Structure 1
Amino acid sequence: MHDVVIVGGGPVGLFLACELGLAGCSVLVLEREPEPGSPFKAEPLGLRGLSPASVEAFYRRGMLDRLLAAAGVPDWAGADPGEAPSPPRRGGHFAGMMLDGTKFDDAALPFRLAGPAAEGLLTSLEAVEAVLSEQASKLGVEIRRGVTVGAVAQDDEGVVARAGADEYPARWLVGCDGGRSTVRRLAGFDFVGTGPRFTGYRMHATVVDPEKLHYGFNLTPTGMYLQLAEGNLGMMDFDGGAFDRSQEPTREHLQAVLRRVSGTDVTLGEVHLASTFTDRAMQTTTYRRGRVLLAGDAAHIHSPLGGQGLNTGIGDAVNLGWKLAATVLGQAPDGLLDTYTRERHPIGAKVLDWSRAQVAIMNPDPHAQAIQAVVRDLLSTVDGTTYVLDRISGTSLRYDLGSEHPLVGRNAPDLRLEDGTRLGDLMEDGRGLLLDFSAGRCLHGSATGWESRIRYAAGPARDDLGVGAVLVRPDGIVAWAGDHHPDPEAFDRAAAHWFAAPAIR
């Protein structure tokens, strides 16, 4: 019996598997597709934007260099750990309206420090999965492909996934099997939300007369089309989602839609690849039922506007991984696993609303067009650009951890000690981290009971942001922060709350 069976070997399932494997859990990943590669995961249709928060997750587990190599990025602005890093290259859009990254105000955001993971990355699903698969194998994770789960049964002791005549017992099971999740249905999760307003299309095709189409996002009176490169096209047709997966998207149909939403008589030649999607915005009411949990698209689906789906899923995996591992290993304080739903469900709900807002603005009717004009004016300001890009980045996320300290609950800044060691460098082993800038005067004795689960590092910082010590959870969230004379008892209470009593170590 494995500690955890993960159904779904995409980026979310693989990242979760790596987190569990890093903690020493026995993990089995079951993936329906027989081979790891797919034309829809490679460029151009497989291109995805990783947010700074997602890039930081790879960095903190020592995978950033491999990810950059797999993505073919020779010049990385954040790679130089010197005192004067290159300014972040920021960009993005809201509802198809492009943002001017030069108007982003870094100073308006609290607790931000430059570091190797200060910006997002455009890469392919193929590259992301290759890096994570390699890491999972190094950590002893078993991956079985060509396995289609058809039944799930659980009791108080464990859970069994069945695929044909084969059974895969485990103590816990996590569904990371996408928007049409089989695990979600079999385990009886309630899935609620709003229906579609459009059918979306992605295609790679030959365009006979490409000069008739503009590059980038193009909002029109009849919909939207996007051209990232010649023949790499996206479209939104506000048909109420009627076409999505109801039939094959033929060249004739794709050409008709493209002509309608572009307002041109453009002609398509050969269609190499095409897929459809909608803006359904649905979420499970909880992320856990007994010994079955969900992460990524299995727990929440929405339109791909803003590139939030993959990044939200990676955030789920990072949040769940250490909590489930501690539960498996008998090291979790009471209720730790329940904080997964409590912390991540509101994040998923906000992403769904973020998607709904963009769809409403892009709708080709006079009321939506009027709102769009107002929003466009707001996005032309520094405050408007900063707000949207900050939401997209994911780095200013804050969980309510019951503390009034402004740093608690936030993603930890990449604090740097005088010897050059960065916070991210100290988190590769997946443990919590206590950074003590008081050089051990107050907390070292307190920390000695936690070595197996909390790494301790002390010394002056190049910029301590006004704190004397910080306790960082394995997912990079600040669990406790003290002033320049930190209270050992306050630290002990915070550590016990998240990491259980030292006697368990």
Structure 2
Amino acid sequence: MDFPVVVAGGGPVGLMLACELRLAGVDVLVVERLSEIDPTIKAGSINLPTAEAFYRRGMYGALEEHKRQAFARMQEFFKQQGGGAPVRPPKLAGHFGGIMVAGELVDFDSPGFRDPGPAASITVVGQQAVEEVLSSRAAELGVVLRRGVEVTGFDADEDGVTVRLGDESVRAGWLVGCDGGRSLVRKLAGFDFPGTDPEITGRQALVEMTGAESLPRGWNRTDTGLFVNGPMPGRILTVEFGPPEDREAPITAEELQGSLRRVSGVEVTITAVHTATRFTDNARQASTYRKGRVLLAGDAAHVHSPFGGQGLNLGIGDAMNLGWKLAATINGWAPQGLLDTYDLERHPIGEWVLDWTRAQVAVMRPDPRTKALRAVVGDLLSTGDGQNYLAKKLSGVLHRYPIDGAHELTGLGAPDFEFSDGTRFGEYCQEGLAVLLDLADSAELRAAVGNRASRVRVVTRQCVSDPKLTGVLVRPDGHVAWASDGGVEGLEQSLATWF
């Protein structure tokens, strides 16, 4: 083999996957058709599991500066909206189809949110920032990244995949398609991609404009669609019903201006376009994420509208789940069926995201029945229960994998446990190993690891954030495989199942 793994696509998902593979000692080639990071406006924030993944892999500091810059731009926008006077941004839980949900009644101390530690402070970062940080991290780890190169074809067999890169061929053990919604890997491998056709045309851009003084900020629904003004200076988004005639056509200032005028009723004039994109609510998901030696992750496996900001997060979750399992398979210690759990665990999360985005489009439709439905949904989301539900859904803390175990933590993402020596759980995750927390100084618990010490790190500490816990086994992707409030029952089985 030239490389154990070839990853098609060097965006955030492909880079995160490559970093996880390298942490496990697996050589990987990433090929990306673009010669540099795509500057097109995309996702503007990440959820808690994504932030935790960066924090636990030692990238918290790198994202901090990007977060600071993003907040500075937001403050400038609200200052402009306030006529030059400082305006405090509203506390929001998020939005559902443009229905803004206040955050005053959200109980962030409730058990459902768990303690994310420092990760909670780095959620407001854009996709380009994420990609910059991951590119640097990949270089540090020795990932081979070739830009300006793309997969043009491949032949897969039982032993590996011959990947064609134009006139060149590379032999790999595995090929992972992280090459976006129009994935060539998915198409050539013959993955089914069922779903629903688009019914909207969305446009998002960073622009300069005049006449916007009377343009309301935030999300606004009208009789002709929906528009967004902010939360950065010059950032606009419009939604009109009816799919685009030509989604690939260049986006002009005239097109953006016409859409914003039609939807808002305000005669703004767009004088410059810095970056713009056109999107739809096409919602599709591969029926499986694996066919033999070919796997899919990120938008190659699932596409949907950007409402709720789940796309980037869904892809990073795929990469974290797949990375250690594929590495274990390549390194020869994976228990039987481990790689199959990638599809088993991630496919339902993808299904939820697709339905969540479809539901948001449903409450955007500009007709009287939808207007009535939207009012009812808005009333529900204005309650404490509604605000907490939305905040937990959007933050990603409710994602639970179907892992056997009776403890309430099993299958969930691990909290950032605080220990009596002042350290936190996230500080012990940078090597990408599983972590067995020995919280009661139990020789029996430590002995259960046996000959798995090279892949399961044992940390003996006293937990102050959850004193009743005596032991927790956390997989490399951050999800709890086993936990106990006393004794070691089930630990050996969990270790055998996963490691």
1:248 counterpart residue number? 250
1:146 counterpart residue number? 148
Matched, 1:52 2:48: yes
1:68 counterpart residue number? 64
In 2, distance between residues paired with 1:310 and 1:446? Answer: 37
5 Å-filtered alignment, 1:37-436, equals: 38-40=38-40, 45-46=41-42, 48-72=44-68, 91-110=93-112, 112-113=114-115, 115-119=117-121, 121-228=123-230, 229-239=232-242, 241-245=243-247, 247-436=249-438
Sort the Cα spacing of 1:119 and 1:380 in 2 relative to 1 into closer, same or farther, 3 A. farther
CA displacement, residues 463-498 of structure 1 (integer Å, 9 cap, x when unaligned)? 3353210111000111011222333xx211110100
- State the one-letter code of the partner of 1:498: W
2:3 counterpart residue number? 2
In 1, distance between residues paired with 2:111 and 2:289? Answer: 30
In 2, distance between residues paired with 1:465 and 1:188? Answer: 51
CA displacement, residues 409-448 of structure 1 (integer Å, 9 cap, x when unaligned)? 0101111221122111111101101001121243122224
2:87 counterpart residue number? none
Cα deviation for residue 111 of structure 1 reads: 7.0
Sort the Cα spacing of 1:443 and 1:90 in 2 relative to 1 into closer, same or farther, 3 A. farther
Sort the Cα spacing of 1:253 and 1:110 in 2 relative to 1 into closer, same or farther, 3 A. closer
1:26 counterpart residue number? 27
**Cα contact 1:153–1:159 (8 A) shared by 2:** yes
**Cα contact 1:103–1:386 (8 A) shared by 2:** yes
Sort the Cα spacing of 1:418 and 1:194 in 2 relative to 1 into closer, same or farther, 3 A. same
- State the one-letter code of the partner of 1:62: G
Question: Structure 1-normalised TM-score?
Answer: 0.91
Cα deviation for residue 303 of structure 1 reads: 0.3
**Cα contact 1:244–1:277 (8 A) shared by 2:** no
Q: Secondary structure at the match of 1:479?
A: strand
Cα deviation for residue 120 of structure 1 reads: 5.3
In 2, distance between residues paired with 1:424 and 1:130? Answer: 22
Cα deviation for residue 264 of structure 1 reads: 2.7
1:11 counterpart residue number? 12
Q: Secondary structure at the match of 1:122?
A: coil
In 1, distance between residues paired with 2:348 and 2:129? Answer: 30
Sort the Cα spacing of 1:194 and 1:111 in 2 relative to 1 into closer, same or farther, 3 A. closer
**Cα contact 1:437–1:464 (8 A) shared by 2:** no
1:79 counterpart residue number? none
Q: Secondary structure at the match of 1:143?
A: strand
In 1, distance between residues paired with 2:396 and 2:253? Answer: 38
Cα deviation for residue 230 of structure 1 reads: 4.1
Question: Structure 2-normalised TM-score?
Answer: 0.92
CA displacement, residues 166-218 of structure 1 (integer Å, 9 cap, x when unaligned)? 11211001010111111111111100100111000012222220113111111
Q: Secondary structure at the match of 1:113?
A: coil
- State the one-letter code of the partner of 1:497: T
CA displacement, residues 123-178 of structure 1 (integer Å, 9 cap, x when unaligned)? 22222111111111111110001112110210001012212211121100101011
CA displacement, residues 323-372 of structure 1 (integer Å, 9 cap, x when unaligned)? 00000100100000000000000000000000000000011111111110
Sort the Cα spacing of 1:95 and 1:273 in 2 relative to 1 into closer, same or farther, 3 A. same
Q: Which moved more, 1:57-66 or 1:262-271?
A: 262-271
**Cα contact 1:4–1:172 (8 A) shared by 2:** yes
CA RMSD of aligned residues (A): 1.8
Cα deviation for residue 114 of structure 1 reads: 5.3
**Residue among 452, 459, 462 paired with 2:461:** 459
- State the one-letter code of the partner of 1:234: L
Cα deviation for residue 92 of structure 1 reads: 1.7
Sort the Cα spacing of 1:111 and 1:389 in 2 relative to 1 into closer, same or farther, 3 A. closer
Aligned residues: 479
**Cα contact 1:200–1:244 (8 A) shared by 2:** no
CA displacement, residues 86-143 of structure 1 (integer Å, 9 cap, x when unaligned)? xxx7642111111212211134443712511135522222221111111111111100
Cα deviation for residue 52 of structure 1 reads: 1.2
Which ranges of structure 2 fall in alignment gaps of 5 or more residues?
Answer: 73-90
In 1, distance between residues paired with 2:224 and 2:113? Answer: 43
In 1, distance between residues paired with 2:474 and 2:21? Answer: 18
In 1, distance between residues paired with 2:315 and 2:100? Answer: 24
